[in-house]
Each structure stands twice: as C-alpha cells, then as structure tokens.
C-alpha cells in the first residue's frame, strides 16, 4: 500500500530536499501516493517549487494543539518526517508537533535530530542539547496504548551540513580563504545535505509488518560525512577540487558570529547552532565518523569532500583579479 507522507518545515533546506526527492525520484515516487509539506511560511520559494511538483503545501500555525492535530489529520498522512524548524521557538513548536502527531494517530514517524546533541553540554551548547530533550519527548510516545504513534519510529541524527560551508563563499571568492572557528588540530566530518535527504527518503518509503521496514524501525541512525578533516584539510581538498588556491583561517567565535550574521539569512537560533557545533569541534568531540547506517540502508557511498566542492564550484572559486594578466576560470545542493 502506497504511503501518504507529511514533511514538516517544508520551506527549510532539509524538508524541501526530502519532499522533492520523494516526488521526483522514480524509486521513491512509486512507493508514495501523496506528499504534503507543512510550512510556517507557505509563500517561501521552496513551497512554490514543491507545489509545482505536486506536493500539497499546508499552513503550519503553531500555538494551539487541538488545531494542529486537526491540521495533521487533514493531510491523511500515515507517515511523518518530523523536522524541527529553523525558528527561535523550535523547541516549543516541535514539542507541539510531537503531541499533535500522537493525537492524529500517525503510525510512522521519522524524527530528524542532530549529531553531537548527546555530547553537547546544556550550559555551553544549549541549541544542540535541546535536540536530546526533543528526542526524549518523541521516544516517550513509544508503547503508549492510547495512540498508534510511537509503534514505528526512527531517529536520524544528521551531522554538520557541508552546505554550511557555503556561507563562507564570499571570503573564498574574494580573498581565497575559508574562515572557520574550529581551531587548527581537531577534525570533523561534514555531511552532504543530499545524503541526509536520501537516507530519510529510504526510511520513509520502507515497509514492514508494523510500519517502517523492520530493518529500520526503532533505529537511532547517526549520519556524518565519510571523511574527517581539519580546517586546513578542507582548504587543501577544496583547492585541489577547484584547481585554485584556498587557505584556512582560524577565526574567533566573535568574528564568526559577525560573518554569519552578515552573510546568512538564517534565524539567529540557527546561527547559534552552527557556532555551538564549531565549539564541539574545538573541544575535540567531533573526531568520529558514522556512515554505517547510510551504507546499510541506501547501498551507496556518502559524498566525499572533493565531490562536494566540485558540485558547488561556482560558489567557492575565487573571482579573477582585475589585471592585465587573465586568470583561468573553469567550472566545477
């Protein structure tokens, strides 16, 4: 029986890419009857694009649990991809969605969490740590006989999105540097957003006797990129992939906050989340790779850093200088 999937935070990058994949990839589309997208901002370009692909966009108006439950029921969803929105009230909004899903008796729920939340400290990395609280609320529905929700659950802890590095494209282009506040020696494994979406799509389409595929149901999946890298490593990889010279610059958190505020359209809470992840790197808490769930479920290999930089070459490659000598410019989610 084909699934009816509802994806929350559809205007965000993660929600958009997952919903798009479910509608445009032949393998996933064959397993899905309908896809709906819940959005706080239904006028966002992502929502308009999804609408053109046949995704039904639904207004998300938080604050009233009864109305939120009715909204979820109106989509006829039997499967929910629950993505906390990029919003200053992320915690409250997500907690309400968890309760609404319970009230709507949605049996299959895949929760997109964050890698590193379990090792984040509440006083130092509160935005990261709040994902632990949300996971606890989500998992508490399991075994509740009053609702079908919780009987078929999956948690995906997604690592640091490599696409966040695009925020430094102006410095890469104009100055030939990658300014990231991670120190010089510790490593981290950026993951492609496309890989997170691919893993989630496989989970959402997987079928078993009790909902999700029995190989997936009940799993806590941690997905990082396949390669550990220092800032210097990333600059060298990018230089080789782009055929140009980029240098790593270890900047202070204050400088990083200023850069992110000036170059990112992200909510302030999301900027804080990025800065907190960088602090985990500086503390040596991100020196690990977790790709087994991705290999096992998709049968594929996560995107390597060189391929990531090649796919975004036009964003990273430095602009030619205005001089009498012409520089070679060639092209490289």
Give the residue among 48, 106, 97, 102 at the shortest CA–CA distance from 77.
Answer: 106
Tokens in use for 192? 């492609």
Bridge partners of residue 178, in order along the sequence: 248
Asked whether 159 and 190 are in contact (CB, 8 A), the reply is yes
Antiparallel, parallel or unpaired: β 247-249 and 177-179 = parallel
pLDDT tens-digit readout, 140-173: 998 788 888 888 999 999 999 999 999 998 898 8
Task: State the pLDDT at residue 317.
Answer: 67
The per-residue pLDDT of the chain, averaged, comes to 91
E runs forming strands in 180-239: 220-223
pLDDT tens-digit readout, 113-148: 999 999 999 999 999 999 999 999 999 998 788 888
Domains detected in the chain: 3-161+191-223 (3.40.50.720), 165-187+226-286+303-316 (3.90.25.10)
pLDDT tens-digit readout, 42-83: 999 999 999 999 999 999 999 999 999 999 999 999 999 999
Give the residue among 7, 11, 18 at the shortest CA–CA distance from 194.
Answer: 18
pLDDT tens-digit readout, 198-226: 999 999 999 999 999 999 999 999 999 99
Question: Which letter does DSSP use for residue 164 in this model?
Answer: G
CA atoms of 196 and 316, how far apart (whole Å): 22
Q: Which of 116-120, 190-194, 251-255, 259-263 has the least mean pLDDT?
A: 259-263
pTM of the model: 0.92
Q: Which residues contact 114 (CB under 8 A, 6 or more apart)?
A: 128, 131, 157, 158, 273
SS3 141: coil
User: How many residues in total does the chain contain?
Assistant: 333
Asked whether 280 and 182 are in contact (CB, 8 A), the reply is no
Asked whether 260 and 266 are in contact (CB, 8 A), the reply is yes
Write down the number of H helices and E strands in the chain: 14, 9
Tokens in use for 81? 């991809």
Task: State the pLDDT at residue 197.
Answer: 96
Tell me whether residue 153 is exposed, middle or buried, using C-beta atoms within 10 angstroms of its C-beta: 0 to 12, 13 to 18, 19 or more: buried
Asked whether 125 and 276 are in contact (CB, 8 A), the reply is yes
Q: Which residues contact 78 (CB under 8 A, 6 or more apart)?
A: 3, 4, 106, 107, 108
pLDDT tens-digit readout, 294-327: 999 999 999 999 999 999 888 876 654 433 333 3
Question: Which letter does DSSP use for residue 165 in this model?
Answer: G
Give the residue among 95, 160, 92, 97 at the shortest CA–CA distance from 125.
Answer: 160
| Rounded (10°) angle between helices 253-263 and 268-282 | 150
Antiparallel, parallel or unpaired: β 56-59 and 79-82 = unpaired
| Rounded (10°) angle between helices 65-74 and 90-103 | 60
Instruction: Name the strands in the sheet holding 3-7, side by side, starting at the edge strand that comes first in the sequence.
Output: 56-59, 32-39, 3-7, 79-82, 108-114, 152-158, 220-223
Give the residue with greater pLDDT, 178 vs 1: 178
Bridge partners of residue 222, in order along the sequence: 157
């Amino acid at each position: 029986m084909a699934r009816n999937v509802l994806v929350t935070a559809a205007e965000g990058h993660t929600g958009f890419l997952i919903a798009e994949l479910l509608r445009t990839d032949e393998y996933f589309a064959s397993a899905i009857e309908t896809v709906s997208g819940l959005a706080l901002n239904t006028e966002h370009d992502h929502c308009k694009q999804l609408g053109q692909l046949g995704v039904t966009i639904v207004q998300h108006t938080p604050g009233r649990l009864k109305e939120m439950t009715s909204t979820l029921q109106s989509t006829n969803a039997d499967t929910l991809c629950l993505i906390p929105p990029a919003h200053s009230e992320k915690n409250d909004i997500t907690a309400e969605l968890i309760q609404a899903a319970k009230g709507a008796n949605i049996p299959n729920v895949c929760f997109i969490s964050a890698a590193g939340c379990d090792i984040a400290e509440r006083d130092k990395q509160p935005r990261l740590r709040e994902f632990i609280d949300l996971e606890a609320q989500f998992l508490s529905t399991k075994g509740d006989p009053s609702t079908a929700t919780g009987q078929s659950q999956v948690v995906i802890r997604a690592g640091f999105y490599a696409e966040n590095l695009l925020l430094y494209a102006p410095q890469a282009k104009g100055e030939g540097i990658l300014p990231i506040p991670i120190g010089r020696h510790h490593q981290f494994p950026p993951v492609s957003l496309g890989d997170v979406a691919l893993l989630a799509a496989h989970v959402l389409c997987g079928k078993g006797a009790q909902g999700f595929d029995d190989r997936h149901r009940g799993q806590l999946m941690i997905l990082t990129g396949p390669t550990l890298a220092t800032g210097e490593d990333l600059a060298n990889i990018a230089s080789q992939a782009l055929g140009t010279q980029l240098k790593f610059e270890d900047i202070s958190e204050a400088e990083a906050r200023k850069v992110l505020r000036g170059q990112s359209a992200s909510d302030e809470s999301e900027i804080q989340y990025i800065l907190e992840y960088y602090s985990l790197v500086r503390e040596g808490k991100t020196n690990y790779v977790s790709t087994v769930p991705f290999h096992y479920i998709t049968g594929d290999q996560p995107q390597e850093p060189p391929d990531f930089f090649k796919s975004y070459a036009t964003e990273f490659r430095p602009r030619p200088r205005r001089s009498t000598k012409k520089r070679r410019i060639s092209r490289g989610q």
